[in-house]
């Protein structure tokens, strides 16, 4: 399978992968990595946590990779066998292939990953585009998703056009633009050390995918029979979490919603919310 490169130059790819290697060097718990062959391209996976623990799949957002989970994996690994999976066509180590969003490809891809990991049923959590991908799989194979965590997910209501215009413009303005973009993404939250440099490096060297994530239909959302957590910030510059919650409520009957004051599109310190949801007995009683 061949696909166009997602990095502008080989040197740029090496620069981003050096940041990835540095994050893995600081990974807070023991881990292993593997590359899985799927019908849509090779896929890089980081596994942490004891093998007998129940599985939890983590899917990152656009323009990033599984290094974003470095601050969360220690908490999750106490309860789960955690698999952080690099999305296809993003700034990680999976194949540069970018299947059509309006096809079953991403659901098929994740199905292949789960089968290779010998995971029959899983907890599934994704942020932003990873949330969209999680939803894509959950409505494709709901019987294989035990619980679903959606962090600022795409595909439920249209994104804010104002953010997309600002983000494109700022991405062209070097380090100054990267700093402004980070502030926009984080809302009122403090910006962690090093984040501005990381985003500047990625926006300089990575070819962001152009397009809009498709909106899920009502019939698709009715397939969300599993307990589902929607988590996001009230200062999300890209998505309106209240509108997302309103759209989901009639369909996802086991929906929990947590909107964090002051949080933006990038979320911090969410492991307490997510772990409480995942470890709780969420069954609906008559």
- Answering whether pTM is above 0.85, one says yes
Per-residue buried b or exposed e for 221-243, using 16+ beta carbons within 10 Å of the residue's own CB: bebbbbbbbbbbbebbbbbbbee
Amino acid 162: pLDDT: 79
Domains (range + CATH), the chain: 10-279 (3.40.50.1820)
pLDDT digits (tens, 9 = 90+) for 219-277: 999 999 999 999 999 999 999 999 999 999 999 999 999 999 999 999 999 999 999 99
Q: Which of 143, 150, 27, 16 is nearest to 82 (CA)?
A: 27
Q: Which of 3, 280, 230, 247 is nearest to 128 (CA)?
A: 230
What's the burial of 258, exposed, middle or buried (CB within 10 Å: 0-12/13-18/19+)? middle
- Residues of the chain below pLDDT 70: 1, 172-174, 282-286
Amino acid 172: pLDDT: 67
Helices 10-25 and 195-205: crossing angle, nearest 10°?
150
Amino acid 182: pLDDT: 83
For 138, the 3-state DSSP assignment is: helix
| Cβ neighbours around 1 below 10 Å, total | 11
Amino acid 284: pLDDT: 46
């Amino acid at each position: 399978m061949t696909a166009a490169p997602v990095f502008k130059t080989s040197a740029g790819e090496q620069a981003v992968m050096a940041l990835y290697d540095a994050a893995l060097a600081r990974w807070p718990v023991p881990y292993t990595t593997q590359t899985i062959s799927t019908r849509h391209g090779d896929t890089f996976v980081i596994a942490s946590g004891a093998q007998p623990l129940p599985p939890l799949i983590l899917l990152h957002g656009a323009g990033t990779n599984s290094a974003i989970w470095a601050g969360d994996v220690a908490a999750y690994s106490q309860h789960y066998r955690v698999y952080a999976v690099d999305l296809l066509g993003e700034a990680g180590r999976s194949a540069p292939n970018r299947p059509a969003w309006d096809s079953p490809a991403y659901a098929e891809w994740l199905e292949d990953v789960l089968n290779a990991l010998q995971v029959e049923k899983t907890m599934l959590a994704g942020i932003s585009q990873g949330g969209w991908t999680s939803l894509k799989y959950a409505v494709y194979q709901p019987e294989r998703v035990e619980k679903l965590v959606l962090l600022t997910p795409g595909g439920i209501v249209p994104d804010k056009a104002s953010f997309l215009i600002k983000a494109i413009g700022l991405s062209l303005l070097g380090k100054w633009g990267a700093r402004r973009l980070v502030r926009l993404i984080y809302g009122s939250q403090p910006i962690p050390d090093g984040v501005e440099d990381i985003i500047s490096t990625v926006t300089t060297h990575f070819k962001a995918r152009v397009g809009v994530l498709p909106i899920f239909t009502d019939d698709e959302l009715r397939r969300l029979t599993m307990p589902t957590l929607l988590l996001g910030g009230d200062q999300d510059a890209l998505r309106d979490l209240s509108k997302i919650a309103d759209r989901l409520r009639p369909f996802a009957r086991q929906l929990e919603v947590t909107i964090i004051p002051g949080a933006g599109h990038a979320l911090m310190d969410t492991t307490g919310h997510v772990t409480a949801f995942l470890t709780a007995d969420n069954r609906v009683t008559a």
